[in-house]
């Protein structure tokens, strides 16, 4: 699978070190909010690996829920507006909520999810993304916490896919142009 990448952008060690820092920052931020519990919403499938590692670095009670969103159909760009495909199981009103996604690209997904969650009146709502592709932003949104800034390239690995492949790579790399197929 390494041969499908033109470059490794972030190694497993770099990712794990940053995830640890993010966990410490989140724990500290919750202490500042005087809460011992955080409700983490993982945007599936892309942020499953990131969320799994991140919550193990948070020194608080963590309630975990997942929400499924889709806008890509085997392409390297969104072909529809983000579709929210599942409902949350956990209650949001009055809770401190952290929304976790793999990558902030056009910003449409995070914006749609923020709107949905804000309607439920959380006590606080913050966002954490592993990657930020600032150049591609189409809507006005920034994440509260960002793991890494990356260039405008299509990346895979550590949860990120192309046509559902490469999610299991422990590192993140740029997919070769000839394999992007669109
Ligand atoms: P946005 O709504 O355009 O911000 O898109 C966010 C979603 O697009 C992410 O959760 C990813 O699933 C997907 N995405 C954006 N850029 C990439 C990429 O470079 N590789 C893989 N998936 C990506
Ligand atoms: Mg995704």
Q: Could you read off the pLDDT of 155-164 as tens digits, one per residue?
A: 999 999 999 9
Q: In this prediction, what percent of the chain has a pLDDT beyond 90?
A: 87
The answer, yes or no, to whether any atom of ligand 1 lies below 6 A from the CB of 48, is: no
Mutational pocket test of ligand 1: of 111, 160, 173, 179, the residue with most ligand atoms within 8 Å of the beta carbon: 160
Which atom of ligand 1 is least distant from the CA of 138? 3
The answer, yes or no, to whether any atom of ligand 1 lies below 6 A from the CB of 160, is: yes
Class of domain 2-27+42-179: alpha beta
The predicted pLDDT at position 182 comes to 58
Residues identified as active-site? 105
User: How many angstroms separate the CA atoms of 117 and 106, rounded?
Assistant: 19
Nearest ligand, measured from the Cα of 153: 1
Nearest ligand, measured from the Cα of 108: 1
Q: Which residues contact 151 (CB under 8 A, 6 or more apart)?
A: 133, 135
- Looking only at the bridges linking them, the beta strands covering 61-70 and 145-149 are unpaired
Q: Could you read off the pLDDT of 102-161 as tens digits, one per residue?
A: 999 999 999 999 999 999 999 999 999 999 999 999 999 999 999 999 999 999 999 999
């Amino acid at each position: 699978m390494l041969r499908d990448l033109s470059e490794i952008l972030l190694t497993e060690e770099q990712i794990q070190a940053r995830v640890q820092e993010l966990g410490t920052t989140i724990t500290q931020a919750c202490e500042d909010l005087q809460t011992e519990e955080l409700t983490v919403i993982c945007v599936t499938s892309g942020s499953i690996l990131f969320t799994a590692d991140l919550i193990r670095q948070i020194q608080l009670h963590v309630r975990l829920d997942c929400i499924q969103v889709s806008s890509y159909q085997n392409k390297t760009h969104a072909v529809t507006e983000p579709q929210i495909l599942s409902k949350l199981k956990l209650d949001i009103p009055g809770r401190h909520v952290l929304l976790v996604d793999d990558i902030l690209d056009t910003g449409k997904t995070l914006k749609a999810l923020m709107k949905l969650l804000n309607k439920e009146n959380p006590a606080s709502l913050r966002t954490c993304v592993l990657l930020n592709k600032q150049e591609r932003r189409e809507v006005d949104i920034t994440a509260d916490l960002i793991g890494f800034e990356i260039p405008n390239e299509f990346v895979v690995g550590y949860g990120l896919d192309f046509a559902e492949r490469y999610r299991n790579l422990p590192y993140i790399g740029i997919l070769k142009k000839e394999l992007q197929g669109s």
